[in-house]
Amino acid sequence: MMTEGQKLSVFSKMHSFVSRFFKTRKLQQIMEYTMVFLGTSPYEAPALYNLMSHMDFNQGVFYPKGGFYEVIKALVLVAEKNGAVIRTDSAVEEIMTENGKATGVRVAGGEVLEADIVISNADMWFTETQLLDSRSRTYTESYWSRRVMAPSAFIMYLGMKRKIPGLIHHNLFFSRDWRKNFDDIYKDPKLPDEPSLYVCAPSVTDPSVAPEGKENLFVLVPIASGLTISEEEEEAYAENILELIENEMGLEGFRESIEHKRVYTVKDFASDYNSYRGSALGLAHNLWQTAIFRPKNQSKKLKNLFYVGAGTNPGIGTQICLISAELVYKRVHGITTAEPLEKV
């Protein structure tokens, strides 16, 4: 394993690594764009994340019929099958502690739910700084202020009154000035003048997610976390993005075909998910926030408090977050082997 691990180019950067194999700019962009969804730039990301391209091109991308929420519904069924009671609309306001242990949680309205073990899948910054008293925190505010956050996103949910010829399920548009686009996100935070963007048209694959003869679109533009965007700026930027899609992607009459539009961006991630600086993803995957350098899955102060999700090990992404849950499962049950979990 150590011999094979040396081939992952841990200490070289993704762009340098990709450039060794691909000389055409478009091919380089295709191989590097997944770094956005790991929350970092290909000019900063460790080359070991070329594993993402292996997953995309060799293992394939899968779509759950009915939309991604079907995955959440499936997880709920698995949890309830195994005895879990799911409570919604019960915002946690405090993790209760006593004598170096978490004793439960207090939810909105004052109700206290006692617990032998507390597992938080909330944003880790929020858990540590807002739900715990200062003595029970593994990480201080100054720790978080030094972290590099993954991008936020400028998202548009679009309902189209007709089918849009020319779109497939996954559509990518790359900025002509590739490096500046990433600098606008990471080095000089602002709404990118010439952004890259992703347009998802799930109704091309799955007609059930849109009314007959219509289209359901999801437009995502990676932007810097922490931005403050006024309503006027939001509306103007949305119009710029729609114009870019229509003109640069060759979709004539695109804007006039929109019958519903909802914009979702930095402030929404912060308010809906308690996300630090409105990041859409969590902690970026640069070298010093990867593997052993990422926050651990278990509190250093409260031995029965555990963390899952994008802010802890192993990191960002649906599958990766599920692995964080598996790691916590093994810690809770004292499992130290690499044996797979029992099927449920």
* Whether residue 295 has a cis bond before it, omega within 30° of 0: no
Residue in the structure block whose two tokens are 């991604």: 68
Report whether 261 contacts 158 (CB < 8 A). Answer: yes
pLDDT in the model for residue 344: 43
CATH of domain 152-273: 3.30.519
What span, in angstroms and rounded, lies between the C-alpha atoms of 321 and 172?
Answer: 25
Q: What is the pLDDT of residue 1?
A: 41
CATH (residue range 69-147+282-332): 3.50.50.60
Given a contact cutoff of 8 angstroms between Cβ atoms, the answer to whether 37 and 281 are in contact is yes
- Output the pTM of the full model: 0.87
What is the distance between the alpha carbons of residues 102 and 113, in angstroms, rounded to a whole number?
Answer: 11
pLDDT means per 10 residues, the chain with 344 residues, are 52 82 85 77 78 78 91 95 93 96 95 96 95 94 91 97 94 90 90 93 95 96 95 96 93 95 97 96 83 91 95 89 93 66 48
Helices (DSSP H) in the chain: which residue ranges?
2-5, 14-19, 25-32, 51-54, 69-81, 124-130, 141-145, 178-186, 202-205, 231-248, 266-273, 318-332
Residues 6+ apart with CB under 8 A from 292: none
CA count, 13 A, side-chain hemisphere, 205: 16
Give pLDDT, residue 23: 87
- pLDDT of the residue at 307: 97
Domain residue ranges in the chain: 2-59, 69-147+282-332, 152-273
pLDDT score recorded for residue 34: 77
The pLDDT of residue 7: 55
1-21: string of b/e by CB count within 10 Å (b at 16+)?
eeeeeeeebeeebbbebbeee
**In angstroms, how far is CA 306 from the centroid of its own chain?**
20
